[in-house]
Structure 1
Amino acid sequence: MERNGGKGREEEQDGMSVHSPCKAPPSSASSLPKEQSQVELELRLLEALEIYPPVKLKGIHRHFVLYGLMEFLRRSFDRHFSADEVLQLLERFYNLEMLKPDDEETDILNHEEDFSLPQSFFVKEEP
C-alpha cells in the first residue's frame, strides 16, 4: 500500500509548489523576533498579491506589478524594498522561472513598424 497517495499531486502546477511556503527563509537560523518579522513580511506580500496578481508578472505588465508590490511593502513597513528582495520573497511561493517571457513574446514586443497617415488625411475637401 502506498503511503503518500501519489507523488503527482506534489509536483509544481501553474508556477506554484506545495512545498514552497514551507521552505525556510535564508535567515531561518535567527531568533524568534526575526522569524515573526519574516512571517509578517510574507503575510503583507500575500495581501499585496490580492491587488497585484502574480500571473501578470509574466506579461508586459511585469514591471508595473513588481513596482506595485515594492510600494505596497514599502508603505506597510516604512522601508525601501528592492525588486530583487520582492522577487526573492515571491520565489518562496511561486516558481518564477515559469513566469519568464518566451522568445516569441519578446520578438512581438520588440517588433517595430513605420507609421504614416493615410493620403486621404492630407487631402482637403472643398466646401
Structure 2
Amino acid sequence: ISDRSLAQKTLCPDSKTYLGEHYNTHSLFGWSQTAPTFHVAQQATGKRAFVLSRSTFVGSGKHGGHWLGDNFSRWKDMHQSIIGILEFNLFGIPYIGADICGFNYNTTYELCLRWMQLGSFYPFSRNHN
C-alpha cells in the first residue's frame, strides 16, 4: 500500500458486510469473477484459459494472474514493482506483472531500457507505455 491508508477510496475496514468485516472480504469480488471466467473460458475452448485481473483474493492464483495496475513512468514505480511481484508470489499468485516503462507519464530511454531488463524476470511481462 506504500504511503496510503488502507481505508483510502474504499469502505472502512471495520464496516460489516453480509460475508463479514470488509477488511477480510475487500477483494473477494475479484476472485468471484476470476474463477467463473476461467471455468467458462476453459469449457468454451477446451484449453487452459488465460485470465488476468487487477483484483485478486486468496486462491485467485489457481484461476488467473494479477496485474499490478496503472503505474507511473518513474524509477520509484519500477522499484515498487519488484516488491509487488514478490508479495503476490508469497500470497500464492505466481503469475504477476507490472506495466513495463510505466503507464502514466512519458518515460525516458534509460528508465525504459532498465525496466525492460528487469521485466525479463517478471512472470507476466508487457510494455504498456
Larger helix fraction of residues: 1
Larger strand fraction of residues: 2
Q: Looking at CA atoms only, which structure, 1 or 2, has the larger radius of gyration?
A: 1
TM-score range, shorter chain: under 0.3
TM-score (norm 2): 0.28
